[in-house]
Amino acid sequence: MSTPGTTSTPAVRTPVPVVLAGARGHGRWHVENIRRLQDQGLVRLVGICELTPLTEEEYGGELPAQSDDFGALLDATGARVAVVCTPIPTHTDLALTAARRGVHLLLEKPPAPSYAEFRRMADGVAEAGVACQIGFQSLGSLALPAIRELIADGAIGEPRGVGGAGAWARDEAYFRRAPWAGRRRLNGADVIDGALTNPLAHAVATGLALNGTTRAEDVTGIETELWHANAIEADDTSCVRVTAGGRAVTVAATLCAEHPGDPYVLVHGSRGRITFWYKQDRVLLQRADHGPEEYEYGRTDLLQNLLDHLTTGAELLVPPAATGAFMQVVEAIRRAPDPAPLPSTAWRSLPAERRRVVPGVDGLVAAAADTLSLYSELGVDWAPYRPHAPREEVTTR
């Protein structure tokens, strides 16, 4: 409140110095997002960490400081926030390098390739007292609280479970984009770059969030089925069923779709269901005695939310603890037998698109999400029915 005769002046926010580790590949998205916030006067990009320096042509303008030594770059620039978008096996060490310097973090998903590495990262960040946001952008959607409110109000009756479906296409070059691409391990280190843990990880994390079971201790069982049509180690066609909160969260994914579409999460209720296309922030409510209702929502950028947390005390949307259940899934996939190659009769090559497709997999993915079933329970010939699918025992500390 202003006193008589005075005029209140809005507080001026000093731009926060930011360093980006990993500016190629998906890192280009972070470059553009940081530029957007820089134009608003919220941040300054003061450094880029890359093994091979960017050229001005790649970056699209005058470059900030560059170094292949992340710690030295943080020290030299006085960065207050670091965005880490580097290969999965490097996440924990780079996060701890920043945390030891008191630098806050936006850490790309998946946060780590194993539950042990995740705990080492999360515990180290907590001990250092820095804020850490995990980069599940879908969890910044304003649709999530709206869906939770619909569920709480009984719009679809009693929640029965959550399905997730991701039918995407990736060409052969995608699996050659980096030495770790499509690998489960590299040089003795875990990578776990599969469909469910990296490109369609948002479907898993969002499904768990809408089930209200995001903490590691919420998970009581995990069943996995992992396959690949491409010549890779990891899975490109897979499904997982997580038992959490007494309900099933089943997510089916493929990178070999015939007709790729937007991934979605489906909340099943006793009197209806809610479909959430999380890349579009679009929601479809279908319930008994009502016509379909469709809504579109905005989204809170996770880096901006981190900045708000640091400056105004806003609650972090995706702290490490909110990804514990997801990391249980990563760990179950890591510990599962290596993905099985699909028989040559189950896939075909599209030479013009330089990719492989699995005929019928689009419908299979949708059916899994619709029925909360695993592939082996849906009558597909390459996934023979298993009356008792192996269930990963889940423990936390």
Domain at 363, CATH number: 3.30.360.10
User: Between these two residues, 222 and 6, which has the higher pLDDT value?
Assistant: 222
For the chain, the domain total comes to: 2
Confidence (pLDDT) at 13: 76
Q: Are residues 113 and 32 in the same domain?
A: yes
The residue range of the domain holding 53 is 16-137
Whether residues 242 and 266 share a domain: the answer is yes
Q: Does pLDDT of 350 surpass 70?
A: yes
Task: Judge if 205 and 160 occupy the same domain.
Answer: yes
Residue 260 lies in a domain: yes
Interacting residues of 23 by C-beta distance below 8 A, sequence separation 6+: 30, 31, 48, 50, 54, 59, 85
Q: What's the mean pLDDT in 12-34?
A: 94
Tell me how far apart the alpha carbons of residues 291 and 268 are, in angstroms, rounded to a whole number.
17
Please determine, for residue 5, whether its predicted confidence score (pLDDT) is greater than 80: no
Residue 2 within any structural domain of the chain = no
Residues 93 and 151 in one domain: no
Of 89, 109, 137, at which residue does a domain stop?
A: 137
Let me know whether 146 and 129 are in one domain: no
Does residue 379 sit in the same domain as residue 241? yes
Per-residue pLDDT, 384: 81
Residue 333 lies in a domain: yes
What pLDDT, in 10s, does the model give residues 124-170? Answer: 999 999 999 999 999 999 999 999 999 999 999 999 999 999 999 99
Together in a domain, 106 and 233? no
Does residue 293 sit in the same domain as residue 382?
yes
Average pLDDT over residues 367-387: 89
Interatomic CA distance for residues 90 and 102, integer angstroms: 19
CA 360 to chain centre: 26
Residue 397 located in a structural domain = no
**Domain endpoint, select from 137, 159, 177:** 137
In a domain, 303, yes or no: no
Verify that 365 and 234 share a domain, yes or no.
yes
* Mean of pLDDT values over 112-129: 98
The answer to whether residue 102 is domain-embedded is: yes
Q: Which amino acid is at 129?
A: G
Domain presence at residue 345: yes
| Cis check: omega of the bond before 110, within 30 degrees of 0 | yes
| Domain end position, chosen among 137, 168, 186 | 137
**How far are the Cα atoms of 177, 236, 281 from residue 170, in angstroms, in the given order?**
11, 9, 23
SS3 248: strand
pLDDT at 331: 98
pLDDT at position 32? 97
pLDDT band (50, 70, 90) for residue 111: very high
Same domain, 87 and 168: no
| pLDDT (average), residues 11-20 | 87
Instruction: Clarify whether residues 194 and 326 are in a common domain.
Output: yes
Q: Which two tokens stand for residue 83?
A: 């965005």
Burial 227-243 (b: 16+ CB within 10 A, else e): bbbbebbbbbbbbbbbb
Residues 130, 83 within the same domain: yes
Per-residue pLDDT, 1: 39
| Contact (CB, 8 A) for 225 and 375 | yes
The pTM score is 0.94
Q: What is the pLDDT of residue 124?
A: 98
The verdict on residue 109 lying in a domain is yes
CATH number for the domain harbouring residue 45: 3.40.50.720
To the nearest whole number, what is the mean pLDDT of the chain? 94
